[in-house]
Structure formats: C-alpha cells, structure tokens
A and B are shown apart, each in its own frame.
Chain A
C-alpha cells in the first residue's frame, strides 16, 4: 500500500472518528404514504417529563414551539389555547382516544398534534468539563385518524472526542436540548 493510498484510507476514517465520536443519529419513523402538505397547523401538547429536572418538560415544550415556528413549515396554535382546550377535555387514562384527538383537533383547528417526552437530561463529567446529555422523543399524530405519521427519538450531548481527550466544556443543557430538538425535527422537515 502506497503512502498516498494509506492517507486516503486513514484520513477519512480519522475524520469520521473525530466528528462522529459521541454522536448517534435519531431513530425515525416516517409514514411515507402520508401527505404532509395536508398539515398546515399543529398544536404542541406539553411534553411529558421523565427526567430528574423539574422544568425540562416545559423548557423542551417552549424550545419546540420556537423551533417549529422557526422552520416556517407549520402554523402553531398559541400554547395558551392548547392548554385551555386540553383542560376542558377530561383524559381519565392519561392517553387520548380517537374521539378526544378529533375533538382537540377540531377545537384547535389543527390537523396534527405533536406529543413528546424528555426521557433524560443529565450532566456527565468528562475530566473537568461537564457535558449535558438530553434524550427526547417526539411524534406527530394526525387528528382525523389518530395515526402516528412521524416519530423520532434522539440522544444528544454525549462527551465528544475533544471533551474526552482535552476536557473541553461543551454546550449548556439548553443548547443541547435545542440541538436535540433540531435533530429530531430535521427528520420531519427537510
């Protein structure tokens, strides 16, 4: 193997290791038969929070709203209106049935609802640096049929190569959460 060949093999591998260390892409389900052009307005249902942080769910909901608006793909129902409608529809089991989804969609004028969960938000030490890790999942449910047309799950913020080797501080937990949401939305909005 010549030196040139070695470089051409080793260099891309090295770059892939450096750039990809600590990263994993989202797991995605996308209903390719569904016409997403039909969805003009979506309502974000306050995200469930399974993490230790008391405010992570609310924080993620706020970021998600802003990121969806920033994508300029859908109109978003004012969260106050969503909260009001959800408060008026009793959900004894904690899960919405089809009739409830239809009712919510009708009253909010939304073709789809976005549900999600913050599963983890933690800080890992890497040398002297603190690296936040966020795990989230999001899904879009069509209000007419109750079908999940998109779902994605991702973890963001594991210590990268630089943090592992040099103890460099990464992003804040908020920035990591925003990156995680952006990664997830990128699988829906291209």
Chain B
C-alpha cells in the first residue's frame, strides 16, 4: 500500500513547510541588515520567478519571497509577483531562466521598469544540504546583462569535528548564499549605478563580448547543462566579459530554425556574431554530472565537462579544455577539504579554465 494518510500532509509538503519556516526565522534574524524600504522614486525592477533546477519542486516558492525582500532591502522597488505572473501568462513566457528581446522590452515597458532580474535555484535538502543561486540583472531596454553571479554553499547533515551539532535544514545555508549574492549585486552594480558595460564596477576590465551556445548534455542528469550554463555565464561575467543574454541568443537561433547545442556551424556562428557584435563564442558538453557517487569518503559528486571557445567571426577554435573530477580530489587529510556539493565542485573545476580564457583573450585583445 502506498500514498499518504488522508488529511495528513505529505513528507514533501512537510519538508517545504519546514524550509519556509526556517527561511522566515532566518529573515527575522537578519532583518536588521536590510537597508531600507523602497520609496516611490526607487528604480522599479521586474523579478522573474527563478528557474528551478533542483529536485525540490517547492524550492521556488520557498526562495522567491526572500529574494523580493532582499531586492527591496537594496532600495529597489520590485514589481509585485502577481503582476509579473500575469505578464508572464500574457506573454506566454514559460522558461523564466532566460528572456528574449521582445519579452524583455514588453515586460520593461509594461511595468515601467528598466531592470529585470532572473536566475536559477539549485537546492538540495535531503542527504546533501546544498543551496545554489545564480542570478543576473538585465537592462530590459537594451537586453544587456549588467550584473551576474552564482553562489553555492553546502553543509553536511552529520556532525563533524569542526561542527559538533548536526544541521537538519538547508535554510541557513540558503540564507548565507542569498546574502553573499546580494552583497555582490550591491558592490558590483548598485554602488556604481551604471547602465553600460563600459561603466562597470571599477577594477573589472571588459575583455570582450561573448555569446554562449547552449551546452550539450550527455550526462543523463536532467538540467545539468542549464546549471553549467548559468555558472559559466556568471564566472565569465565576473572575469570582465560582456555576456550576451542566453535568451537573446536562443531567440535568434530559433529564428534561423536552429537549436545548436554544444557545437555550431560556421555560417550560423558568423550570423550570430554579426547580429550580436560578438567577439567570442563559448560552448561545451556536460559528460558527467553525478550528484553523489558512493566512494570510500561517503557521498561525493563527480563531474566531467568539455568546453571550448572560438573566435566568433572566424569560427576558429581558440581553446579547448576537458576537465573532470570528484569532490574527493580536494581532500587534504582525513576527509578535510572534500567537496560534497556538485555546484561547488563545478565552480572549483571551472575556476582555472575560466582564468585561462580570461588571460588568453585579454592578451589577444591587447
């Protein structure tokens, strides 16, 4: 016999309730850090429901209210979720992880808001407690990404030498991630009040305009390509690249009757490069994205990806990297240093290649 008892909430519902409760408590705890309530003159911002890339079906319901609070705390005025939902239905926008030109302009003009925030949620609250949020801010009138970042954090439920008390909820981990993400937004963009890539935060040099062809996913793990897409976009942005909004690229390739993944023919690439004035193209394949491979060190994620970058106008491959590894590769001694979050492992594995790309292309530009 299976199923839940009539009248009693299911385990999943209970877990969501606990998650929401913990988030609420966390919010009350950090309320002092929220700067101020938005005034009527504050810039309006449309926040699209973040794309849920996690197995937790209710993750979005748990995270979005907190994102609204944090955005308001930065002195921005978010358009109400109900208004955004209605607009999404009217524009028939289903994939909120990216946005096309027509939709961006429509949402902006309809709501009197220049700015659109979108992103993704990568949350686990079972054996592994992982919270990962990727977010970006778009100028809805120009389609330009003005800020992007990805933050991941994880914790083990089990007590350890350094943390004797077990953690039983992902709430605190998620709160840390959200706080650091919004600190990044505040520092990198809001403090400068810039609207153009050339005016980006001081110290970040613009290295080139990059279009990302959607990644191929042969890993068998659903949505792994999208997780990698979001993380790579953020990392490249943080290294000073001007990234073309994936929704715009998607819209343009569809108009050509194509849906390239992991590779692109030269005619299409040239057409995209001309259309977007792109300097470089980046794409790749996710070969392995295992959340937990049972090893001697316990549950450890394992990833393998292949990535290459091209001169967008010439179609010449400028670099290629094939990287893979498991969380156990980072163990220093007695399991210390093991990475148990696939998101964190992804960021660690990508750090060096992204740095290489950044240096190589900066040299090329100079």
Contacts and interface: CB of A to CB of B under 8 A. Distances in A.
Contacts, number: 68
Interface stretch (B5-13, B28-36, B146-154, B314-322): B314-322
A138 B280 CA distance: 31
25 contacts: A55-B218, A58-B285, A58-B287, A63-B322, A65-B308, A69-B308, A69-B320, A75-B316, A75-B317, A78-B263, A78-B264, A78-B265, A78-B269, A78-B310, A78-B317, A79-B263, A80-B265, A80-B266, A81-B266, A81-B315, A83-B263, A83-B265, A172-B302, A174-B287, A178-B322
In this complex, the member of A62, A66, A67 whose beta carbon has the largest number of chain B beta carbons within 10 angstroms is A62
A75 B306 CA distance: 18
A66 B315 CA distance: 16
A113 interface: no
Given A65-B308, A66-B306, 12 more contacts: A58-B285, A59-B218, A59-B304, A69-B319, A75-B317, A78-B264, A78-B310, A80-B263, A81-B265, A84-B265, A172-B324, A174-B287
Interface residues of A, number: 22
In this complex, the member of B268, B306, B319 whose beta carbon has the largest number of chain A beta carbons within 10 angstroms is B306
Given A55-B218, A59-B287, A80-B264, A66 B316 contact: no
B337 to A, nearest CB: 19
Contacts of B319: 69
B315 to A, nearest CB: 5
Nearest to B213: A80
Nearest to B321: A66
B353 to A, nearest CB: 11
A40 interface: no
Interface of A: 55, 58-59, 62-63, 65-67, 69-70, 75-76, 78-81, 83-84, 172, 174-175, 178
A157 to B, nearest CB: 15
